[in-house]
A and B are shown apart, each in its own frame.
Chain A
Amino acid sequence: MAELKDSNELSFAEVEEIVFLLKNVSDFDLSGYTRSSLKRRIQRIMNLEDMDMVDLKNALINVEGFQQYFIQEVTVNVTEMFRDPGFYNKLNKDIIPYLQTFPRIKIWSAGCSTGEEVYSLAILLKENNLSDRAFIYGTDINSKVLDVAKKGIYPIKKFKEYSDNFNAYNSTESLSNYYTARYDAAIINHDLRQNILFSTHNLATDQVFNEFHLITCRNVLIYFDLKLQEHVINLFYQSLALFGFLCLGTKETLMRHDIMENFKLIDKEYNIYQKIK
């Protein structure tokens, strides 16, 4: 048996070199991203493109459009409609009734990827007859996933899982009421897309752009170190109306951040918080 040595195994020092380079030659700053995930994702790009460190650095500096491509591939865009059905249940039961009391409801889905989370929220609003009073902003660092989100057309094969999620959330209706199947595509109904705006926004570097009653940022903070998390949570705090809600992913928490004292924990399992001061 030969000892199998992965010769192109990336080191943490090399990850730092790439982060440093990118920061200097582009608007993208990955300094606050978790290193083990970055290492894996960069390694993956190098394997896909058959590049070594020299090639990669060269491409980041000299190849038109490569920085954008690199960001697209280094970020993880996996998402689902009604991911964590219990979370949507909770929203429906406890948060929506509260939001209903506002004359207008502004929602921000930060790190919305290809838009499935945004359309799930739109369905929730529609079920509660709130579509006309609500507006959802879906933002992401990656403009390519936002193009998919804007189109609202997904491979139909994904809808098996999405329907299972939806049924776990609400078994009386069918998700198929909200899209049209055409060949191998599922097209989100047009009336769901009113009052939705998708736009690029970088949580690490961009500012507050509106005031919201509900912010969801799920499965994004896991890619950030605690310092960058602190920064982003501050941004959310400033973007929330008083008594507005912040929803994180099921494994993410505000508990380790000082700003927690300005929030009330609403749901421990799904990490829903309310701004109380």
Chain B
Amino acid sequence: MEKTASKIIVIGGSAGAYELIVEILDHLPTEFSVAIIIVLHRNSKYETKIETSLSKRLNRNVISVRDKLPILENHIYFAPPGYHTLVEPDCIFSLDISDPVQFSRPSIDVFFESAAAVYGKNATAFLLSGANNDGSEGLKALVNNGSTCFVQKPEEAVINTMPLAGSLVSEKVKVISNQHIIDYFSQLM
């Protein structure tokens, strides 16, 4: 029986984040009790087949979020391009097609804010490489709701704008190296 995840890890990334995300997924243990939810900026007109190719290669549950999917343990979810992804209080996803926020849909801010409201201290967030400020507002909401927040060490990011902005949100946001990020995920339980 697949169980609803009581803890989630959320990852936001944009330009330059994809390679690290793949590396993270490559290092995951066979089973883990959280759900991993990834919001990566990508163009909706060229819907990439990231999920299907990763799902095949890694032989695990890598899923593109659809309307009202439950958030399950040991699953990896990607926010689909062209929609905002939100988390509902009963721990299922919902989608929203309202205007892009800071030119982004999915918006990392929108997703992080809703994850913060529902999961609070049971959420852990990572903000990775990117060329804009998306995610900072979301980190603020996560910090305020007791979530643990990390940003990729800006010096190691392909493009440092996003993690740099994120690191300035609060002292509670921890800066973390690529190696430590990968270690974190490889030690997931």
Q: Which residues of A contact B (CB under 8 A)?
A: 1, 3-6, 9, 12, 34-37, 39-41, 76, 78, 164, 168, 219, 221-223, 225-226, 229, 249, 251-253, 256
Q: Which of B16-24, B48-56, B148-156, B167-175 contacts A (4 or more CB under 8 A)?
A: B167-175
Q: Which of B35-43, B92-100, B158-166 contacts A (4 or more CB under 8 A)?
A: B92-100
Contact A36 B170 (CB under 8 A): no
Contact A78 B99 (CB under 8 A): yes
Q: How far is the CA of A78 from the CA of B98 in the complex (A)?
A: 6
User: Could you tell me the distance in whole angstroms from the C-beta of A179 to the nearest C-beta in chain B?
Assistant: 22
Q: How far is the CA of A207 from the CA of B80 in the complex (A)?
A: 33
Using CB atoms, name the residue of chain B closest to A37.
Answer: B96
Contact A36 B140 (CB under 8 A): no
Q: How far is the CA of A1 from the CA of B166 in the complex (A)?
A: 13
Q: A40-B110, A222-B67, A253-B66 are contacts. A6–B95 as well, Cβ < 8 Å? A: no
Q: Which of B1-9, B83-91, B121-129, B178-186 contacts A (4 or more CB under 8 A)?
A: B83-91
Show 18 residue pairs from A and B whose CB-CB distance is below 8 angstroms, ordered by the A residue: A3-B143, A3-B144, A3-B170, A4-B140, A12-B89, A34-B86, A35-B88, A37-B94, A39-B114, A40-B98, A40-B110, A76-B97, A164-B45, A222-B67, A222-B95, A251-B80, A253-B67, A256-B68
Contact B171 A1 (CB under 8 A): yes
Contact A223 B89 (CB under 8 A): no
Contact B86 A37 (CB under 8 A): yes
Contact A36 B87 (CB under 8 A): yes
User: Could you tell me the distance in whole angstroms from the C-beta of B176 to the nearest C-beta in chain A?
Assistant: 18
Using CB atoms, name the residue of chain A closest to B99.
Answer: A78
B25 at the interface (CB under 8 A from A): no
Q: A36-B118, A37-B86, A40-B110 are contacts. A251–B96 as well, Cβ < 8 Å? A: no
- With a cutoff of 8 Å between Cβ atoms, the chain A residues found around residue B71 in the complex are none
Of B95, B140, B168, chain A has the most CB atoms within 10 Å of the CB of B95
- With a cutoff of 8 Å between Cβ atoms, the chain B residues found around residue A37 in the complex are 86, 94, 96, 98
Q: How far is the CA of A229 from the CA of B87 in the complex (A)?
A: 18
Q: How far is the CA of A57 from the CA of B171 in the complex (A)?
A: 37
Using CB atoms, name the residue of chain B closest to A3.
Answer: B170
Using CB atoms, name the residue of chain B closest to A80.
Answer: B97
Using CB atoms, name the residue of chain A closest to B98.
Answer: A76
Interface band, chain B? 20 to 34
B15 at the interface (CB under 8 A from A): no
- With a cutoff of 8 Å between Cβ atoms, the chain B residues found around residue A3 in the complex are 143-144, 170, 172
Q: How far is the CA of A178 from the CA of B184 in the complex (A)?
A: 56
- With a cutoff of 8 Å between Cβ atoms, the chain A residues found around residue B168 in the complex are 1
- With a cutoff of 8 Å between Cβ atoms, the chain A residues found around residue B83 in the complex are 222, 251
Using CB atoms, name the residue of chain B closest to A43.
Answer: B113
Q: Which 5 A-B pairs have the closest CB atoms?
A: A36-B86, A34-B94, A76-B98, A36-B114, A222-B95
B117 at the interface (CB under 8 A from A): yes
Q: How far is the CA of A145 from the CA of B89 in the complex (A)?
A: 30
Contact B67 A5 (CB under 8 A): no
Q: A6-B140, A76-B97 are contacts. A34–B114 as well, Cβ < 8 Å? A: no
Known: A6-B140, A36-B117, A223-B96. 20 other contacts (CB 8 A): A1-B168, A1-B170, A3-B143, A4-B169, A6-B141, A9-B144, A12-B89, A12-B117, A34-B94, A37-B96, A37-B98, A39-B117, A76-B96, A76-B98, A222-B94, A222-B95, A226-B68, A229-B68, A251-B66, A253-B67
- With a cutoff of 8 Å between Cβ atoms, the chain B residues found around residue A168 in the complex are 45
Q: How far is the CA of A229 from the CA of B114 in the complex (A)?
A: 22
- With a cutoff of 8 Å between Cβ atoms, the chain A residues found around residue B68 in the complex are 225-226, 229, 256
Contact A36 B88 (CB under 8 A): yes
